[in-house]
Structure 1
């Protein structure tokens, strides 16, 4: 369901519910999480990402469930956490999520493959996050059908869209691609559309906006340009 939702002719917006972050502190009151997700859904987001991690980001499996089960959130839900055990994938499934985020650099090849296959076996999509060519290769070897490319170097925190564009060009056409981190307004969406990305995962810039739903709306409707691999 998640992959189908982000596979259209326009850049899909995956809008995030992130209660807090280690660097920015409190971003969203938990009481506002579900109403914010409803706003994202109504504004044209193709999916909602919800943090399942508690220590660093203030989320929880219960928060994911509350968004996934809300009748006014009509789009797929991505369970975002640090997945290092297939039991976490089962928990995501049981929480009502449609997809999980798997970070390549957090696991070895065998576990990466297990996590992806576990997700697929439960009917979930796996958004497999990468930052380097080696990580992209590992993701594909593990059977990834949806590959995320992080624009932010997690060591220096610098944002480099050109690195992402370069990695995107080397991916097969039948793999869906998601641009992650450092994206805010329509201009950024147009930039990644020019590189052929299928979707954008947008988090803190939405939550820092006075009207997150309006910000989502402004980022929708950007056609994806055909890019040669």
Structure 2
């Protein structure tokens, strides 16, 4: 199962969906543009810790009855933000799971709504679920839709983490108005991972745009390597979720904070 198949199924689903589904209750906290981006930027590299029940490549990762407690553990361990899978068929999450975590009083950090967005209504669904930001995957949409998604998020007070994999996709993201650019080290067609992708692409992103390296960070050596390339943050999922206590694994990973190069000057 690769990206094209997932996106095709997602488009089919939304083509047969009327309006925006109800999810959760009232937002516990207002959506304020810039909240997620601000959480990522600081003297040390930040971590967006992921709540992902399963994946096509790794199978089951986290029982749903441990999802909220895992998010709490991440927040307590020093995560800058928590990413929660809203996709059900392929990753075992749901908008309701995002809503549960976003509404939990012990999850005191911003929440990223992670799904394959192919329709502006999904941005509204993320807002209803209480998220602070949405993930947008450049290669999943055309340029006009990417612009619409970025603008819809901004209008609702949500930040957009715009994910790229190639030089061309970075240009498309910036042209669409992205203020947070992610570089995925995982090829979503083959699911192979190459951490050097972050090294290759970081220099193409302006200094005033927040940056996130996604996938492939397996320990403090990788964390320091990504920090050395000047990234503000990294998104980590499977490395934490394969540990018996993901929150403790994050606390151990953060250990002594890893300075970013410009912060050391």
Q: CA RMSD in A?
A: 1.1
Post-superposition offset of 1:154: 2.0
Supply the distance in 1 between the matched residues of 2:250 and 2:61 (Cα, whole angstroms). Answer: 17
Indicate the SS of the match to 1:201: strand
Tell me which residue corresponds to 1:9. 43
Please identify the structure whose Cα radius of gyration is greater. 2
Q: How many residues align?
A: 227
Tell me which residue corresponds to 1:49. 83
Post-superposition offset of 1:124: 0.4
Q: Which runs of 5 or more structure 2 residues have no equivalent in the other structure? A: 1-34
Supply the distance in 1 between the matched residues of 2:231 and 2:126 (Cα, whole angstroms). Answer: 26
1:196 maps onto 2:230 in alignment: yes
Tell me which residue corresponds to 2:261. 225
1:47-71 CA-partner distances (Å, limit 9, x unpaired): 0000000000010000000000000
| TM-score, structure 2 as length reference | 0.84
Runs of 4+ in 1 over 4 A off after TM superposition: none
Supply the distance in 1 between the matched residues of 2:50 and 2:86 (Cα, whole angstroms). Answer: 11
Within a 5 Å distance, the mapping from 1:181-192 to structure 2 comes to 181-192=215-226
Post-superposition offset of 1:211: 2.1
Post-superposition offset of 1:12: 0.6
Tell me which residue corresponds to 1:212. 246
Equivalent pair of 2:113/2:131 in contact (CA under 8 Å):
yes
Tell me which residue corresponds to 2:184. 150
Post-superposition offset of 1:212: 1.0
Tell me which residue corresponds to 1:108. 142
1:113-149 CA-partner distances (Å, limit 9, x unpaired): 0000100110000000000000000000000000000
Q: 2:68 aligns with which of 19, 31, 34?
A: 34
1:77 maps onto 2:111 in alignment: yes
Indicate the SS of the match to 1:49: strand
